């Protein structure tokens, strides 16, 4: 089974809310809410991939020094295995906007269970609850 490396981030605003993005129609797991991020390309570090993806998906800029390693997810789906380092970020430039057709929501940790998520993301809720 192929392993796919994906970086994700918990963007945390000044009110302690976390940004979730809803996967748009036409993508796998469409309609589910996830932490922003994306695939790590060949020759790219997880942090560099995340900085690139945040610019592409949300039109915001951040820096490696603002990405704090938080945890990781490891989950076997039917046709691949996902390995996902997850970072926390409290500092960025710009206002997140949906640049790729996704819906965005700022969510309090205790409300995250109301947002259907991919199986790999669900265990991250408890980690974030303990952090915040």
pLDDT at 53: 96
CA dist 88 and 86 (Å) reads: 7
Write the pLDDT tens digit of every residue in 19-70: 999 988 877 888 899 999 999 999 999 999 999 999 999 999 999 999 999 9
126: domain CATH number is 3.90.79.10
pLDDT at 121: 94
pLDDT at 96: 96
- Two structure tokens written together for 96: 């997140």
Write the pLDDT tens digit of every residue in 68-118: 999 999 999 999 999 999 999 999 999 999 988 889 999 999 999 999 999
Domain count for the chain, please give it.
1
Strand partners, 88: 10, 68
Instruction: Determine the structural domain holding residue 67 and report its residue range.
Output: 3-131
């Amino acid at each position: 089974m192929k392993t796919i490396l994906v970086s994700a981030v918990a963007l945390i605003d000044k009110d302690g809310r976390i940004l979730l993005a809803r996967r748009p129609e036409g993508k796998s797991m469409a309609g589910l809410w996830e932490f922003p991020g994306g695939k790590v390309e060949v020759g790219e570090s997880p942090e560099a991939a995340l900085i690139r993806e945040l610019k592409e998906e949300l039109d915001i800029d951040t820096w490696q020094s603002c990405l704090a390693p938080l945890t990781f997810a490891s989950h076997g789906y039917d046709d691949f295995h996902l390995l996902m380092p997850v970072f926390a970020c409290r500092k960025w430039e710009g206002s997140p906007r949906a640049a790729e057709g996704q819906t965005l929501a700022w969510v309090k940790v205790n409300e995250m269970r109301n947002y259907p998520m991919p199986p790999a993301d669900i265990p991250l809720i408890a980690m974030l609850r303990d952090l915040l």
